[in-house]
Amino acid sequence: LTVAFIIDLDSDTADKFIQLFGTKGAKRVLCPIPYPESPTRFINCEQVLGLNLMNRGNYYWEVELIDGWVSIGVIAEDFDPREAYSHGRLGRNDSSCCLQWNGQNYVAWFGGFECPIQQPFFHTIGVFLEYSEKALTFYGVKDSKMTCLQQLKVSPSAKGKLDPFQNKINRQFASLFSCKLKPAFFLESVDAHLQIG
């Protein structure tokens, strides 16, 4: 697709129940980690961000789902990490979107709206962010083959009028690209574990 985007996890954003392994691995744990105080640290959601800012061009990265329920997406740089759990989770607000693996199937989330995806499990997820197209595409990657799981993009077709998820995309998704975005990860279950490729 394009040159791979190198992501390093930002330890100053990691919730206290997320253990980091270097700058590429994250796992949700039961015992809180005594991270130092940080104004960018999530305190109500088991989330962590990438250090990297994205604000123009195209970006592609891959994430390996090792265990548990994991969400992968992007979030506006200025999102308040102290938001309540109900509103602070990836995709449950207008400042972020994600692909979630919930143990049974994939679900795309944006603005509190969801779209279940009927595809088998992939250990490796590719994320392709296109600023000029105002599009975010999630791929399942296996044996160098890519399967499109979901593309989030404004589509003025009739489908949007009938589909609440696409209707939400049509109304609000483009405004996300007026922000600087960061890669974002939500480790939902206690055993959740991911590795950035």
135: CATH: 2.60.120.920
Average pLDDT on 144-160 reads 86
How far is the C-alpha of 155 from the C-alpha of 20, rounded, in Å? 38
Residue 4 placed within a domain? no
pLDDT in tens, 79-133: 999 999 999 999 999 999 999 999 999 999 999 999 999 999 999 999 999 999 9
Tokens of 61: 């990265």
Q: Helix/strand/coil (H, E, C) string of 85-103?
A: HHHHCCCCCCCEEEEEECC
How far is the C-alpha of 101 from the C-alpha of 159, rounded, in Å? 25
Strands 124-130 and 113-117: unpaired
Residue 24 placed within a domain? yes
Residue 2 placed within a domain? no
Q: CB–CB of 91/79 below 8 Å? A: no
Residue 170 domain boundaries: 9-196
Residue 35 placed within a domain? yes
Residue 141 placed within a domain? yes
pLDDT on residue 2:
56
Q: Given a cut of 80, is residue 3 above it in pLDDT?
A: no
pLDDT in tens, 14-55: 999 999 999 999 999 999 999 999 999 999 999 999 999 999
Residue 60 placed within a domain? yes
Residue 1 placed within a domain? no
> What is the number of domains present in the chain?
1
Q: Given a cut of 90, is residue 4 above it in pLDDT?
A: no
The angle subtended at Cα 181 by Cα 180 and Cα 187, nearest 5°, is 155
Residue 111 placed within a domain? yes
Query: The whole model's pTM is what?
Result: 0.95
Q: CB–CB of 20/49 below 8 Å? A: no
pLDDT on residue 144:
87
pLDDT on residue 159:
59
Q: What is the mean pLDDT of the chain?
A: 94
What's the sign of the alpha-carbon dihedral 151, 132, 25, 63?
Answer: positive
